[in-house]
Structure 1
Amino acid sequence: MNPVDLVIVIVYLAAMPIIGVLVGRRQKSANDYFVGERSMPWWAVTLSVVATETSTLTVISTPGLVFGSAFLFLEVAFGYIIGRVIAAFVLLPRYFRGNYVSAYEFLGQRFGHGLQGTASVTFVVTRLLAEGLRLFAGAIPIKAILDHYGIHTAYWHIVVLLTVLTVIYAFVGGIKSVIWVDVIQWSLYILGAIGAVIFLSTKLPDGWLHTAASQGRFQLTDFVSNVFTNPYAFVGAVIGGAFLSMASHGADQLIVGRLLSCRSLRDGQRALIGSAFVVFVQFALFLLVGAMLWVFTGGRTGATATAVTAGRMSADDVFSSFIVNDLPVGLAGLLIAGILASTMGALASALNALSTSTIADLYQRFTHRSIEDAKLLRQGRMWTLIWAVVFAIFASLFTNSKDPVIQQGLGIVGYTYGALLGSFLLGLLIRKARQPDALIAFACTVVGMAFLILFVKFDKTTAAVHIQFGTATRTLVPLATYWYTFAGVLITMLVGGLLALRHRHADPRAAEVEVEVEESPEVAA
């Protein structure tokens, strides 16, 4: 790596905390810290949502998908659009109507503090695993740079550095700093991807589009593959993507916290739906980079493509190898800074979301204390620091993990998202359901999903179901991951719905959280 690239990375790492502190240094209240006094412009929240959900793994691995599955990943992104539109008009109005700062306050009002606390703790565990892995992934390119210059250090040193730089502005500026820094960080990695496209376009031969298309690199749909075992079979990808997006953007405080900082419900809906289209375009851009890389490496005859096909190189390594070995001076540094931006943006968002959920869903609800605003602000900042330390520890543990543990960390949302989204839908659709019903359904879903993910296998050809207590064979594979949230919701609704049949009358709490659309012109709009 050229020293110019190293300077770009260093300047970025120094600039982000400074900008974040300058933007959010004048915190006036706890409401300002947690939801920005609901004053954030919807377009900034849109980009912040996209930056929050875009991890280092996404930036690095998406181009490599073209080598194995062409543009089929856009089927999932299409499902994201459907899921976010539903969440925008079904779930988001409840949060704004209740003037909540946490999504799980809805569950507390609908069922009781027991389910609210359960959902919050589940969110905490999920975020710790998922964001700890993201933080570790962000340390990988930094270590590669340092090793190149003969500076050998451990991963955990880099993890601590990234955490310290991120927590500076998350601690001082709260959600405002997080959102505005997210906007900058999103712009950074998108500019890097556009720069890669421009550079590749000058290196590819005439007719490269036809070459890639004739070899199926632009295939957008798959109506042939088994919907239960292939994650990119059209029906499974779209339905699974829709339910996954409803859960991640309608029942996960990581995203909902950003949406609640908008000036109004209408702006929140614009931000949520707009993020789906931005993500679609973003994925298309990274996949275009992948298609160009496929031609750049010589297609199926190229060394990189052959290595991927033969299993000697992971598809995740394609873009990373290209950045290090082929990009010109300056552009490589910009892209590496963009990769780090995705890491720091996700971490800052997680710190703010965990702090908010800890105060709103756990501390205030279970202590039943009325806390003055200044003390609440101090509590929020204190928990931001606490969670930063915990994240650094978790990410350091990942550095010593083997692949199966990392894979479990990546797939952890499969165990919990169905239970979270299912609890919200149970409260909205089953008026007789009460807190014990919801808690039992929640527990059954987590256990049921663990059994489904770990032990239920499907035959690739016939889709016949097998129970296998061991490693999957070539013919027996797990259920495609995009079905996990849908399956979890199904279990929650089935168990909770059956238990609700015990009751003659609707739960009185159900009426308290209903939103009458006709009463609010803004909701109707």
Structure 2
Amino acid sequence: MIILSQFIKSHYVLNPTSIIIIIALYFGLLMVISFFTSKKNSDDTFFTGDRKSPWYLVAFGMVGAGLSGVTFVSLPGMVANNNFYFYQFILGNIVGYFFIAFVLTPLYYKLQLVSIYTFLKVRFGHHTYKTGSLFFLVSQSFGAALRLMLAAKILQYAVFDYFNVPFYLTIIIILILVWLYTNKSGIKTIVWTDTMQTIFLILGASITIYVITDTLNFSFSESIQNIIDHEYFKVFNWEATSGNNFYKQFIAGILVAIAMIGLDQNMMQKTLTCKNVWDAQKNTLTYSIILALTQFLFMGLGVLMYIYANEMGIKLQIAENGTFLNTDNLFPNLALNHLGTLAGIFFILGIIAASFSSVDSALTALTTSFTYDFLDISNKSSKTKKKLKNLVIIMFSVTIFVIILAFSHSKGDVISLIFKVAGYTYGPLLGLYLLGMFSKIKLKDKCVPVICLSTPIITYFLGQFSISAFNFDFGFINIAINASLTVVGLILIKK
């Protein structure tokens, strides 16, 4: 125990060469998993995993994809400016997962879908189907790019700046590494690699909590008490005009979970690799509980980090209005410069895991959706499938690369930006599915793209007007406004 304590408190600086070695060892593990999961593949293994994945493995692995680098870095930092209000949103997520488990999942299994947007073709027609898939492609491309951008910036700061590697080349290196271990078996490999990535993400947070509490001489119960007593531990906001109002956050949490999980090819593709509908439902409910607990862990870590920074006299950037600036830098700064060797190693492992998990399943889902929804490869030969699959992966890798470069100079916490973008891009999808599942309305199929492209624009200008005229911020509830406008617009073009 004495040796362990000394190692924990040691301050051997992780130099860039050490970090490169850690990255190489981690990537080696991914390649070993890829090797074993690439055996006995069929033509559809890349897309469906042959529907043989153990549900508990899928559930645990999905946590890593759900967390990504955004939760790992952005969530702890944001508590200083947003308290624990984000947890209202997470509570809404849990309700949304019940809808996914007992409404959407049985529907997808009944129709034996590979691309979940085929439902829109069955229900409304060809143009609606293409529109739904297109909105997913846009949403997933932005989401994956923003998640990867955050993790890549940290690796750039910790490693690649030392070797004078430009940021754009860092992104290219990560994308190539991801392609190497996913191109053969796709979702079948990712189910297993996501499990390993989840382990390292949770370990990264847990080790950091242990190091901070050990340094501050807090017992476990004292740590809990310090978090509860802290000024940032405010979970519920009842101020009507605030973007963090409970009802806005809770309702948005329900709708965003349904949209970003249940209507997302990335997340549902993993669920649909389970053997049957009951296993898929167990997977979804288990995932929701583990994810909620893990997110609370990261928010608690954020409070401990600010306590630690205050106790150690570490200066943080504060704006004139009292809000903290660049809160995404808090975790990297403490882990790499102040918390010692062990915390630094597991932070790097967590970021590496976040980098890969941010993009591997996204690229697989984007490839699946585009090849099935736009290239219709289901009846093509094995050779053609493989060729098209590889071309599409390259195409979306380039797309993600371009988006990252476009947003690389953005400020503030990335997690808020992701959900803000999602409110505009997933709103039309949510409206289409709600109308499709809970009505018998038939639509003028060719008019659907016009409605779905118009409603995000209208939602944006309504939000700006609401703020300027009534000082009322839609916050994350913009997805509800967007979906509602979509439903109204679609009803206007019914047959």
- The change in CA–CA distance for 1:96 and 1:204 in structure 2 (over 3 A counts) is same
Paired amino acid for 1:225: E
Secondary structure in 1 aligned to 2:466? strand
Match 1:315 to one of 327, 336, 345: 327
Secondary structure in 1 aligned to 2:279? helix
* Other-structure match for 2:6: none
* Other-structure match for 1:214: 229
Secondary structure in 1 aligned to 2:44? helix
* Other-structure match for 1:225: 239
TM-score, normalised to structure 2's length?
0.88
Post-superposition offset of 1:421? 1.2
Distance 1:416 1:391 in 2: 16
Post-superposition offset of 1:105? 0.7
- The change in CA–CA distance for 1:293 and 1:194 in structure 2 (over 3 A counts) is same
The answer to which of 372-381 and 304-313 deviates more is 304-313
The answer to whether the aligner puts 1:263 opposite 2:263 as a matched pair is: no
Q: 1:192-207 maps to which residues of 2 (within 5 A)?
A: 192-205=204-217, 207=222
CA contact (8 A) 1:160 1:392 kept: yes
Distance 1:211 1:182 in 2: 33
Post-superposition offset of 1:373? 4.3
Post-superposition offset of 1:408? 6.7
* Other-structure match for 1:117: 130
Distance 1:209 1:278 in 2: 19
Distance 1:256 1:176 in 2: 13
> In the TM superposition, what whole-angstrom CA distance separates every residue of 1:178-215 from its partner, at most 9, and x where no partner exists?
11111101100111111011111112255555444334
Distance 2:104 2:376 in 1: 23
Post-superposition offset of 1:74? 1.7
Secondary structure in 1 aligned to 2:39? coil
CA contact (8 A) 1:48 1:258 kept: no
CA contact (8 A) 2:66 2:291 kept: no
* Other-structure match for 2:362: 350
The answer to which of 443-452 and 265-274 deviates more is 443-452
Post-superposition offset of 1:104? 0.3
> In the TM superposition, what whole-angstrom CA distance separates every residue of 1:317-348 from its partner, at most 9, and x where no partner exists?
22121112222213312212211211211201
The answer to whether the aligner puts 1:237 opposite 2:232 as a matched pair is: no
The answer to which of 431-440 and 156-165 deviates more is 431-440
* Other-structure match for 1:71: 84
* Other-structure match for 2:295: 283
* Other-structure match for 1:417: 426
> In the TM superposition, what whole-angstrom CA distance separates every residue of 1:410-455 from its partner, at most 9, and x where no partner exists?
63222121100110111111202324364454233233223234x3
Paired amino acid for 1:120: S
CA contact (8 A) 1:132 1:395 kept: yes
Paired amino acid for 2:489: V
> In the TM superposition, what whole-angstrom CA distance separates every residue of 1:255-298 from its partner, at most 9, and x where no partner exists?
11111111111111111222211111111111121121222223
Distance 1:353 1:257 in 2: 7
Post-superposition offset of 1:384? 2.2
Distance 2:402 2:138 in 1: 14
* Other-structure match for 2:480: 486
Q: 1:98-497 maps to which residues of 2 (within 5 A)?
A: 98-146=111-159, 150-205=162-217, 207=222, 209-222=224-237, 224-226=238-240, 228-231=241-244, 233-298=245-310, 303-304=314-315, 307=318, 310-311=322-323, 313-364=325-376, 370-399=379-408, 401=409, 403=411, 411-436=420-445, 438-453=448-463, 455-458=464-467, 465=470, 476=471, 478-480=473-475, 482-497=476-491
Post-superposition offset of 1:107? 0.6
The answer to whether the aligner puts 1:22 opposite 2:35 as a matched pair is: yes
Distance 2:216 2:342 in 1: 20
Distance 2:391 2:116 in 1: 21
Post-superposition offset of 1:13? 4.5
Distance 1:331 1:429 in 2: 50
Distance 2:224 2:67 in 1: 27
Match 2:46 to one of 18, 21, 33: 33
Structure 1 unaligned spans of 5+:
466-475, 504-525
Q: RCO greater where, 1 or 2, for CA within 8 Å and sep 6 or more?
A: 2
Post-superposition offset of 1:216? 3.1
Match 1:10 to one of 14, 23, 29: 23
TM-score, normalised to structure 1's length?
0.83
Distance 2:417 2:86 in 1: 21
Secondary structure in 2 aligned to 1:143? helix
Post-superposition offset of 1:11? 3.2
Structure 2 unaligned spans of 5+:
1-12
- The change in CA–CA distance for 1:210 and 1:261 in structure 2 (over 3 A counts) is closer
